[in-house]
């Protein structure tokens, strides 16, 4: 009887072994398919980053070169697509086309083996800002400030009562940073301007570079006819000091550092653009009324007290305190800030 039971168990054992063999084969097959898919996805991601890196480098090269030669972007558009660029871990090719007065398109394709991915980045004319305030980091203390215009930030800090201080406009989170700092032009070096007495007076009516402009008393008159360019490593307007900007045209004021607590009076017929160099500080305090567009993508802007700004502020970091007011006004610098800036990204399947 026992022998018969053992004999009956043998087919069951064989059946189980067969089922386990099939199961093992299926698991091996699925694991191989899964490993193949993982490897393919990894190559797709590598191809994407190769393509994006190629597009970023070409875009930055065009932006930088176009500052020195405004025809450079046209040369890139008229050139044929690049040959395949060989890298240790893949290849890429780039094509540039479009209209430099509207939108320049950079299409980059990355390859890893037989897997390819394509990204498209656009360059658009840089002429001004659509925001009252835009910065990587905005920190506002208290609720007394008033902002009339859109606000965009990539990272917030401090109290940041945006909903309380933005009276008109939208608040948005924008992690993309599409601005570059313009390079100050080469200008004739002028003597420092230091005015500290009520009767002191100085007139500037030509382009120039200054190591120091320090106005704690008296009046500095800047005359603008057409286009005026000034580069000051440091400007201080404090106490009873006053800067008067008159005339008709555009004033491009390049700065390393600005400290303002005095008076800054601007004729309605003059547009002012403040370009703060990387690492600099644009510090407004006291009760000045400031008109113009502040372009400081790699510098910090501080607004404290009863400051009133009419124009726009782009900065690496904006720190606000007190009952300041910012009223957005669109100003076009006609490409002075670099000619072209990064626009949008698109991943093409």
Q: Which positions ≥6 away from 202 have C-beta within 8 Å?
A: 193, 195, 218, 219, 220, 221
In angstroms, what is the C-alpha Rg of the chain?
Answer: 30
Query: Dihedral through CA 174, CA 176, CA 179, CA 181, nearest 10?
Result: 110
What is the pLDDT tens value at each position of the chain, 349 positions in all? 444 555 555 565 556 565 556 555 655 555 555 666 777 888 888 889 888 888 888 888 887 777 667 678 888 888 998 888 888 888 889 999 988 766 789 999 999 988 899 999 888 766 567 889 999 888 888 788 999 999 988 776 554 667 788 888 888 887 766 677 778 889 999 999 999 999 999 999 999 999 999 999 999 999 999 999 999 999 999 888 999 999 999 999 999 999 987 788 887 788 899 999 999 999 988 767 888 999 998 999 999 888 889 999 999 999 988 889 999 998 876 666 656 666 666 776 5
* Residue 53 tokens, joined: 């890196």
* Residue 329 tokens, joined: 């006004």
DSSP state of 9: H
pTM of the model: 0.66
DSSP state of 163: H
| Element at 298 (helix H, strand E) | strand 289-304
Q: Check if the beta carbon of residue 251 is closer than 8 Å to that of residue 275.
A: no
Q: What are the Cα distances from residue 335, in Å, to 50, 54, 125, 248, 251?
A: 30, 25, 7, 19, 13
Report strand pairing: 193-195 vs 213-215. parallel
Report the C-alpha gap between 158 and 165 in whole angstroms.
Answer: 14
pLDDT, position 96: 92
DSSP state of 83: P
- 212-249 pLDDT, tens digit each: 999 999 999 999 999 999 999 999 998 889 999 999 99
Q: What are the Cα distances from residue 151, in Å, to 71, 130, 310?
A: 34, 9, 14
Which residue do the tokens 């076009």 mark?
332
Per DSSP, the three-state class of 2 is helix
Instruction: Please report the beta strands in 185-239, taking only residues with DSSP state E, as ranges in sequence order.
Output: 193-195, 201-204, 208-210, 213-215, 219-237
Backbone angles phi, psi at 73, to 5 degrees: -65, -35
Q: Check if the beta carbon of residue 126 is closer than 8 Å to that of residue 337.
A: yes
* Residue 284 tokens, joined: 């407004």
All structural domains of the chain, each given as residue ranges with its CATH number in brackets, are 52-126+340-348 (3.30.1300), 133-328 (no CATH)
């Amino acid at each position: 009887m026992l022998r018969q039971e053992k004999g009956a168990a043998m087919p069951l054992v064989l059946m189980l072994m067969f089922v386990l063999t099939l199961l093992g084969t299926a698991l091996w097959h699925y694991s191989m398919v899964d490993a193949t898919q993982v490897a393919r996805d990894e190559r797709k991601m590598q191809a994407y980053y190769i393509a994006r890196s190629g597009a970023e480098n070409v875009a930055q090269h065009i932006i930088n070169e176009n500052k020195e030669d405004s025809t450079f972007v046209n040369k890139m558009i008229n050139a044929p697509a690049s040959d395949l660029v060989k890298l240790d871990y893949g290849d890429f090719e780039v094509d540039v086309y479009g209209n430099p007065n509207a939108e320049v398109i950079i299409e980059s394709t990355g390859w890893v083996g037989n897997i390819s991915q394509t990204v498209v980045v656009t360059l658009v004319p840089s002429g001004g800002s659509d925001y009252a305030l835009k910065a990587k980091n905005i920190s506002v203390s208290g609720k007394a400030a008033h902002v009339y215009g859109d606000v965009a930030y990539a990272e917030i800090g401090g109290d940041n009562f945006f909903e309380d201080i933005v009276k008109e406009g939208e608040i948005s989170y924008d992690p993309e940073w599409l601005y570059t700092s313009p390079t100050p032009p080469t200008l004739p070096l002028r003597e420092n301007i230091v005015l500290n007495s009520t009767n002191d007076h100085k007139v500037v009516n030509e382009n120039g570079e200054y190591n120091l402009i320090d106005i704690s008393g008296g009046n500095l008159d800047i005359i603008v006819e057409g286009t005026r360019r000034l580069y000051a490593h440091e400007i201080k307007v404090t106490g009873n000091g006053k800067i008067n900007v008159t005339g008709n045209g555009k004033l491009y004021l390049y700065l390393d550092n600005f400290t303002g607590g005095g008076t800054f009076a601007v004729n309605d017929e003059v547009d002012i653009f403040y370009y703060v160099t990387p690492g600099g500080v644009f510090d407004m305090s006291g009760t000045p009324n400031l008109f113009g567009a502040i372009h400081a993508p790699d510098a910090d802007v501080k607004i404290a007290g009863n400051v009133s700004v009419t124009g726009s502020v782009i900065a690496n970091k904006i720190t606000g305190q007190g009952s300041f007011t910012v009223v957005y006004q669109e100003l076009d610098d006609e490409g002075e800030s670099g000619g072209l800036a990064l626009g949008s990204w698109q991943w093409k399947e």
